Homo-oligomer: A and B are copies of this chain.
Amino acid sequence: MQPGSDEQDWREDCAPRRTMEIFATKWTSMILHTLHAQHGGAARNGMLLRSLPGISKKMLVQTLREMEESGLIDRHVESTVPPAVEYSLTPLGIRFVALVELVYAWGRDNADALDQLQARATSRRNG
């Protein structure tokens, strides 16, 4: 057997793999980051919609529901007219968002390298 990684590292349904899958849903990390950047870690539906260029209402709501199901966020409804709904980070969400911030920072710090590679790839494709 080799040193380090063996077949057990990525058993299907293991915790690390499920963690990776959280990143796999397009908008989850961006929503978490946005919540985290707000005072108190909470935000309204409309605010999120405005903060995430390109997201559709459908995907926002759908992703929020999945995140609630995953235990990353809480949903609080104020029964006023018109209704006010607030989403906030759970303790698990707060722990997870630390990871998101690391990825965000990594991207910022490595922007130059990423841009160069993209430029090379583009020019390669266009001859």
Contact = CB atoms under 8 A, between A and B. Distances in A.
Give the number of copies in the complex: 2
A31 B50 CA distance: 36
B54 A12 contact: yes
Interface residues of A, number: 54
A9 B51 contact: yes
Contact of A103 (B6, B10, B16, B108): B16
A2 B39 contact: yes
A53 to B, nearest CB: 6
A103 B19 contact: yes
Given A3-B39, A5-B38, A12 B92 contact: no
A57 interface: no
Contact of A51 (B10, B19, B36, B52): B10
Contact of A107 (B12, B20, B24): B20
Contacts of A102: 99, 102
A21 to B, nearest CB: 9
A11 interface: yes
A36 B113 CA distance: 20
